[in-house]
Amino acid sequence: MQHTGIDGAAVSASSASGDTVITPDTNPWQDTIAAADQALEEAARIQRGVQHNLRLMQEVRALREELRKAHAEADRYRGMHARVVVGMRQLEEEHTGAISRLHADNEMLVVRHRVYRLLAEHYARVALRLDPQAFAGDRDRVLQHILFQRRKGVPPEEIGLSDLAFLLL
């Protein structure tokens, strides 16, 4: 009867049962030394594998840290971008409001210019003496008439002195 030993070699039953028959060229420690060598090689291979795994884990940790930093930086830039967009929208709204105010002011200045020009022409034609109170009253009536005509769609430039003759009499 035979069985396999540590190194996978077949061992006879007589040597397994305790009958030690030592042949002169076999050493009983050879199997033990070979098994120990094999175990040491396996342990060295496992150690190399563990060291490789540790290096990989360190690389993974370093990459995770870089990823965390990249995410933090992206979040920071995202926040900065959001603040800039909000600021730009506020500036745009302020700019739009300012432009609207300037357009309204410009239109009023154009109307007032037209009023003064028409009054100056009227006073020059009629050769009236300039009385500040009469001028203020005439100015208010002409201004109201031009604003009324403007609401109807008539531009101030098209309103002439002949359209205002009934107001200034």
Distance CA 35, CA 56 (A): 31
Distance CA 35, CA 90 (A): 81
Question: Encoding tokens for residue 95?
Answer: 């700019």
Residue 84 lies in a domain: yes
**Total domain count for the chain?**
1
Residue 144: what residue type?
Q
pLDDT averaged over the chain? 83
Domain span at residue 122 reads 25-164
Residue 50 lies in a domain: yes
Contacts of 128 (CB under 8 A, 6+ apart): 122
Residue 18 lies in a domain: no
DSSP code at position 130? -
Residue 7 lies in a domain: no
Residue 14 lies in a domain: no
Q: Region 11-26: what's the mean pLDDT?
A: 50
Residue 16 lies in a domain: no
Residue 3 lies in a domain: no
What is this structure's pTM? 0.48
Residue 5 lies in a domain: no
The tens digit of pLDDT for each residue in 66-124 reads 999 999 999 999 999 999 999 999 999 999 999 999 999 998 898 888 888 888 888 77
